[in-house]
Amino acid sequence: MAFSPALSRLIDAFRVLPGVGAKSAQRMAFHVLQSERAGGERLSSALAEALQHVQHCRRCRMFAESDYCDICSNPQRDASRVCIVESPADVMALEQNTDFRGHYFVLMGRLSPIDGVGPEELGLDVLRDRLQNGPVEELILAVGATVEGEATAQYIGDLAERYGANITRIAQGVPVGGELEYVDAGTLSQAFSGRRPL
């Protein structure tokens, strides 16, 4: 006794999504078939459409629907400043909350040899070409302060140094609104050693 073939295939197909195991996949399939048929149709066609049209920007690896993304093809933006981020969501967050008007480079991950993610998977050859060809005045590392983020920052820092780029990294310290009492030891130590004149 098993579910009907089309239903089994659907449950199986949902498992491709991150964080979705056997139980969640079943729940998703039942939910769509039971009470979200219109939404299911929409998801099916949105998936097909995105897979057909969305690719990586050739310059910065951001998701884009043409060869170059909106930022890279905007002549108003300063191509000599490049901000390195881990994910497309980080680009959105920086665009919404900073006045940075340069270019980005999206790693789509972080160095993690254990998971098979090396410099090539992060497109660092593309970044090297860019450092080699265009004058890059400032390379801003906006990667996370995790172990893999540190390794990634270290690697890219070494790379950029060879091409004489100016390297900066976004500040680590006490989060805005954070009370010292509740800040973890590593962050507090970083914040203290990174103190700046008022």
67 to 61, 64, 78, 79, 98: CA distances (angstroms): 10, 7, 19, 17, 26
Residues within the interface to a copy of itself (CB under 8 A): 1-7, 9-10, 12-14, 16-19, 24, 26-34, 36-37, 39-51, 53-54, 63-65, 69-71, 87-89, 91-92, 95-96, 108
Residue 64 amino acid letter: A
| Shorter beta-carbon distance to a copy of itself: residue 69 or 165 | 69
| Shorter beta-carbon distance to a copy of itself: residue 32 or 160 | 32
Minimum gap (Å) between residue 16 Cβ and a copy of itself: 3
| Shorter beta-carbon distance to a copy of itself: residue 24 or 80 | 24
Minimum gap (Å) between residue 148 Cβ and a copy of itself: 16
d(CA 77, CA 113): 34
Residues 6+ apart with CB under 8 A from 170: 140, 141, 142
